[in-house]
A and B are shown apart, each in its own frame.
Chain A
Amino acid sequence: GAVVSQHPSRVICKSGTSVKIECRSLDFQATTMFWYRQFPKQSLMLMATSNEGSKATYEQGVEKDKFLINHASLTLSTLTVTSAHPEDSSFYICSARAGPPHGYTFGSGTRLTVV
């Protein structure tokens, strides 16, 4: 139980285009999901907290207009990287809290490469 499915696993896009990443909780409802960014050989940095039915809460320094988050249902949150640039290339990971004993469950991540 407590599976989070994230798609796509890899995406390559051209500079200036937008990319959407989906995060689904498969066997539980997630009123809150979290989006992280991870650069090579570094830790996970929280970008934003996604709340079902309301606006996401962004961490300091994260551009909300660039990283659009939508959490329209209890099982789906999406992250859209708008007008992507090479510096946006990174590993993006979503997470949801399923409750004990599962704790925070993570998706498998999305490797974004902007060329």
Chain B
Amino acid sequence: GENVEQHPSTLSVQEGDSAVIKCTYSDSASNYFPWYKQELGKGPQLIIDIRSNVGEKKDQRIAVTLNKTAKHFSLHITETQPEDSAVYFCAASPNAGGTSYGKLTFGQGTILTVHP
């Protein structure tokens, strides 16, 4: 089955700095890679995702890059703000196109703390 490794487990940055979280996956069949933000006591919220047919996607301060050959993908947050502080999870899923329902495999999570 799929195995997703996520690093670092904790990340502390100053407000305004950039934050980068990296994930690797093992199953070459995976083709959908979402990133989630989870605040304390709440369910995960999708912040950005990427499919294997593109190498990069950006949404305002958030970007995700994907290297299929190396089987790794990264989350980049620029101009970080205190409200970005949360736990971030990467995930991978196979066969996520059309009506297929591939299972999500999650990374271990990264606790991001943005200091004012």
Contact = CB atoms under 8 A, between A and B. Distances in A.
Interface of A: 4, 6, 31-32, 34, 42-46, 49, 91, 93, 95, 97, 102-109, 111
Q: Which 9 A-B pairs have the closest CB atoms?
A: A106-B43, A32-B101, A109-B43, A43-B106, A108-B43, A106-B44, A44-B106, A93-B43, A43-B108
B104 A46 contact: yes
A111 B34 CA distance: 24
Given A32-B101, A49-B101, A97-B101, A104 B109 contact: no
A43 B44 contact: no
A105 to B, nearest CB: 7
Interface residues of B, number: 21
A111 B43 CA distance: 11
Nearest to B105: A46
A42 B44 CA distance: 13
A84 B6 CA distance: 32
Contacts, number: 51
A106 B31 CA distance: 20
Interface in B80-116: 89, 93, 96, 101, 103-109
14 contacts: A4-B43, A31-B101, A34-B103, A42-B109, A43-B106, A46-B104, A46-B105, A91-B41, A93-B43, A95-B104, A97-B101, A103-B96, A106-B43, A108-B42
Interface in B39-55: 41-46, 49
